[in-house]
Structure 1
């Protein structure tokens, strides 16, 4: 039985800003192999904002522990040039939520949210150093694809057909 819940929340506010900062800090450390300067993190956030992870064409999911602490998040947005395709963004599990199945829970919730937006396909991008992310996507029937319109330092792109009822497989 999970010790967390996942619900859609606004992608605003200081708590969300804090988790986004932690997300970008960890990604930068793992991908670049060194801590990122504050200016670098601010440029990365400006280059790839997350304000579109909100209705009507997106959703931001937040996982909270029984104590209400934010343990993780995942965003979904429809791609403007391919509205039946949703992109998974900002999938992140804080250290306190790791090893609990929360990554899988967030992925399944994101797929369900994408279907609710009308998507029939989910895409995402990641980096070689993010081995846990790649393993999670592959374990859930995502297949590697050529680059789409993603941003950043990605070097792996994945896609999965979303068929009613397959979000939990």
Structure 2
């Protein structure tokens, strides 16, 4: 079984399904309980994914053995500066290489967009994400925005 990552429309049915799973996971972890449908929809509305579309962004689906199992988005913040968003691997498939596959594809997409540096933010409770970023060369940096759900900020120079 292997991972394959490819661009997909962020407004498509497959994207909506994996984004619902992503938000259910992060909202539930934030509240330390299973998130309600209304909480998930509210989070999706508060942080829309529309900026992950061409020409200034990309949304990528990760498939494991042909089934949608993860996602990642990338967008330009300014010329040369990209940002990762919506990095997600279904919990039952973590540890199978999906995070690395998604990061590699997102970094390639960011380069295609003209980014030479890629940034991201994450929360303190998303320990797997922080470990993934550190293992792939992302360095912790000072905050580059003041969003309410960001505790840690990372950056990587793209080669």
> Shorter-chain TM-score: what band?
over 0.9
User: Structure 2: how far apart are the matches of 1:37 and 1:84?
Assistant: 38
Is 2:140 the counterpart of 1:140? no
CA contact (8 A) 1:125 1:150 kept: no
The alpha-carbon distance between structure 1 residues 75 and 95, as it changes in their structure 2 partners (threshold 3 A), is: same
> What's the CA shift for 1:86?
0.6
CA contact (8 A) 2:4 2:101 kept: no
The alpha-carbon distance between structure 1 residues 120 and 58, as it changes in their structure 2 partners (threshold 3 A), is: same
> What's the CA shift for 1:49?
0.6
Number of residue equivalences: 159
| Corresponding residue number in structure 2 for 1:75 | 73
Q: What are the ranges of 5 or more consecutive residues in structure 2 without an aligned counterpart?
A: none
Q: SS where residue 124 of structure 1 aligns? A: strand
Q: What are the ranges of 5 or more consecutive residues in structure 1 without an aligned counterpart?
A: 164-169
Return the match for 1:101 from 94, 97, 101. 97
User: Structure 1: how far apart are the matches of 2:101 and 2:3?
Assistant: 9
Is 2:115 the counterpart of 1:119? yes
> What's the CA shift for 1:96?
4.2
Return the TM-score normalized by structure 2. 0.92
| Corresponding residue number in structure 2 for 1:166 | none
Runs of 4+ in 1 over 6 A off after TM superposition: none
Return the TM-score normalized by structure 1. 0.87
- Aligned runs of 1:28-47 on 2, under 5 Å? 28-47=27-46
User: Structure 2: how far apart are the matches of 1:75 and 1:61?
Assistant: 6
Q: SS where residue 45 of structure 1 aligns? A: helix
User: Structure 2: how far apart are the matches of 1:152 and 1:76?
Assistant: 20
Over aligned residue pairs, what C-alpha RMSD do you find?
1.5
User: Structure 2: how far apart are the matches of 1:83 and 1:37?
Assistant: 38
| Corresponding residue number in structure 2 for 1:88 | 84
